[in-house]
Structure 1
Amino acid sequence: MSAGLLLAIAGLAALDSLNPATTGAVVLVLLLPVRRPVASALSFVAGAYLTVLLLGVVVFLAADAAAESVTGGLVWVRRVAFGLAALILLVTAVRRLWPRHRAAVTLPSWFSPLTAVPLGALVTGVDLPNAFPYFIAIERLVSAGVEPLPGLAVLAGYALVYCLPCLVLLAVGRFYGDRVRRRLQPLYDRVGGAKDLPRSIPAALGLTALAGVLAAVAVTS
């Protein structure tokens, strides 16, 4: 496994970690009067981590098996990975053509350290269809012929990088308390609060262009 491959996958994981769903929930835990906030947030992140890792393991092993057992299987793994990523971006681009209302992200009344694990898994699972970098990273592993054991280790690291912003945010909030909470409120209002989102033609065009690049990679594989 080359250093270049690891750096590329680390970059994809860093891009994938910039998602508002999981991070927004940790912000809520720090802002709201939650019982045992640190333990609850850690449990939430643990649920997110396990979900990302489990999905990666299933997709990686299935893709690896397909690449080995089907004639031209590696080509089809690449086509599916990049085609799916292109489709996700295209759907996102279409959504930016219409204004929509985003409901506020809130925590249920039953949120606790025990229930935070399945809630973290649910929130992350719902957001995973947008995680197109993950599918590309798995395709890179399969294309490079990485063996299952080191491949699973890389996926475990990917899931950790995915959760890293949440862990950093939690650590900073734990040690700096009220000062961090004052700074987090505007962040929550921006990424987690109720908001009317206007349409954005430039964003839609940019996403469409990127989807076209990924689709071209899929078609020419």
Structure 2
Amino acid sequence: MQSLFIRHRYSIIFFFAVLIHIVAFALLRFSTPPQTEVRDSDYEILKLVDVEEYIPPPEKPDTTIVYNQPVSAETVITTEDDVVEVQTDNAEPDYTPQHKISIVPGIPTQEVLDRIEYPPIALRQGVEGVVYLELYIDREGLIRKIRVLKDPGFGFADAAVAALTGLRCKPAYANGVPVAVRFRYPVRFTVGN
């Protein structure tokens, strides 16, 4: 009996809710905003012009004129031996990007750990950080150049560069041939317990 009463009460509430919605829709007016006419005279043609940035001429280097300089005397020694010119390959090799190599270079991690020194300022403050480096490694495995990509400060980058400078590692390989490579290498500094 009570469930019949509850059902009846819900049907009355539902009826009134539907009735309120019907009345609300009947009283509302649906309208669209009035259309405005667009005339061709409202538009303007703009001309875009490329502006060249003014680059000042390079500064002239300071020159020092020295008068009455003593003439240096050189002693030239002639020999019968032929002079052998040693060819050095100072040309910068083409560094292969890291994603094009098949075998990554082998960095001697233990040697890096032995050479690295935790910066004293960071050690006193208990600061930790990660330095991201880009190593330029030639075909023989010698690190030629080190570029710091991300430096957290506190002397971490200087310590990481000092530890990796002059380090020899296993060269990278692309298709079975040793290649010069640009290799990204993170150095993590953590305070030991």
> Higher helix fraction: Structure 1 or Structure 2?
1
With the shorter chain as reference, the TM-score category is: under 0.3
> Higher strand fraction: Structure 1 or Structure 2?
2
Question: Could you say which structure has the larger radius of gyration?
Answer: 2
The two structures have a TM-score, normalised by structure 2, of 0.24
